[in-house]
Amino acid sequence: MEVRTRFAPSPTGFMHIGNLRTGLYAYLIAKHNGGSFLLRIEDTDRSRYVEGATEFVYRTLKDLGINWDEGPDIGGSYGPYIQSERKDMYLPYAEELVKAGKAYYCFCTKEELEKRRADVEAAGGTWKYDKHCADIPYEEAKRRVEAGESYVIRQNVPTEGEASFDDVLYGHIAVDCSELDDMILIKADGMPTYNFANVIDDHTMHITHVIRGNEYLASTPKYNLLYDAFGWEKPVYIHMSQIMRDLHRKLSKRDGDANYEDFIAKGFLKEALLNYVALLGWNPGDEREFFTLEELTEAFSIEGLSKSPAIFDPQKLTWMNAEYVRKLTPEQFTAHAMPWYELAGIAHMDKEVLARILQPRTEIFGNIPDMVDFLTKLDGEYPTELFTNKKSKTDAEVSRKVLDMAIEALDGLSEWTEQGIHDTLLSLAEKNGMKNGTMLWPVRIAMAGKQVTPGGAIEIAVLLGRDEALRRLRFGRERLG
């Protein structure tokens, strides 16, 4: 049988990392087995609908190469793939259940429900729907519906016995029916609830494996009662544990950095994010850590999934991202770095030199502006003690001499090229019997005003350009008195 999985996001805004992981795993299970991966948009909860969110889902998945075989934009044999466009398909199924006594029309108004809930709660009880309408004879209920009375359709859960299902990761999950609520299947506006739509859709779309978050673990026994009522075959269920910030807290949207696009905006590479997310809840069974999407597809197996909560470790992600950054060609590095160069005001500087000094040190592209802040502004108050360095054998005295010579020689340089600057400074050192380091240290301190910089004196001189480099050298010389 063909493996068919689906990703069923609700268009409520951004792409949470946990959601992305669910979609990725659904994709990998299908593709590893040569099956089909479907995209279904679950937009029946109109109150949570966010304009543009569906396009956003498309863009994110496409960006990552997680391509779907059937979906709203490309169609397929079991469409439509947007729940609101399937609206008319659900009612006949619900009515079939009503006829079989597995569901019923409910006419309770909001006020009546609230009143009865308050009474139960005042008496210290926990409210669940009290089957008030379950006993209305079918003919009577039908008449009221036809007369235009407002209604919902509720599942008629048995009052005793057990509802259960088997989850690949969590094993056998059973609940007492007495604990289950008669959930609404069709709402007063005619829309199905998620609880109903997911069952109808998964069945009619021939889904074989349902992969989703474990927040649905508790409801799945109820869904299975529906499968039983229809006499349908159940899918394989794989519920994934939550992604945690730490041992106690979920990675939450409210923390502001749980969304795919937050990480992209901070300058993480999508390939690194995908790789990291894939390992949050799955491991290949060996030591490998680096995977492209193709490699994941090849290596993925359901057996490698884990139900223990995965802790999202920003440091590990940062490390992984740095590894990906190092693997870029200098041209690719520059393309990714460009927006950050612009932000830092260094987009006009020599790209080849920038890539050379920054690529080995960049963990996240968003760190670039901080790494190069000295290129656009010199902290004029930097301590002159910086000129003193044991290893380079420099002190204030030596630095005065070096700067005098360097300023004169560089000022006379006809072309401000890396080679030219290099040859000028190094031949000066040689002529004066100095170590290269003795020459270069004061020059770099004067140009950067700090001890630790990406790049050396010559590279920084190229980046600054003749005028600014000379201005800083003269300023440094003045500060040394």
Interacting residue ranges for ligand GLU, rule: CB under 6 A:
8-10, 42, 198, 212, 216
Helical ranges in 364-465 per DSSP H: 368-371, 373-376, 396-411, 418-431, 436-448, 457-464
- The answer to whether residue 390 is catalytic is no
Q: Which is nearer to ligand GLU, 33 or 198 (CB)?
A: 198
The residues near 216 (Cβ < 8 Å, ≥ 6 apart) are: 239
Identify which of residues 194 and 387 has a Cβ nearer to ligand GLU in the complex. Answer: 194
By beta-carbon proximity to ligand GLU, the closer residue of 211 and 310 is 211
- The residues, ordered by sequence, that sit 6+ positions from 88 with a Cβ below 8 Å of its Cβ are none
CB distance 19 to 261 below 8 Å: no
User: Cβ neighbours of residue 73 under 8 Å, at least 6 residues apart?
Assistant: 58
Residue nearest to ligand GLU (CB): 212
Q: Minimal distance in Å, beta carbon 49 to ligand GLU?
A: 12
Query: With left for phi above 0 and alpha for psi between -120 and 50, is residue 278 left, alpha or beta?
Result: alpha
Residues 250, 253, 266, 316: which is the catalytic one? 253
Phi and psi angles of residue 168, each rounded to the nearest 5 degrees, phi first? -60, -40
C-alpha–C-alpha distance, residues 306 and 303, integer Å = 8
User: Which residues partner with 16 through β-bridges?
Assistant: 259
Nearer to ligand GLU, 212 or 472 (CB): 212
Min dist CB 82 to ligand GLU, Å, is 12
Tell me how far CA of residue 402 lies from CA of 112, 379, 386, 392, 396, in angstroms: 90, 21, 14, 12, 10
C-beta of 194: minimal distance to ligand GLU in Å? 6
Q: Which of 358, 384, 383 shows the shortest CA–CA distance to 372?
A: 358
Whichever of 3 and 113 has its CB closer to ligand GLU, that residue is 3
Residues known to be catalytic: 253
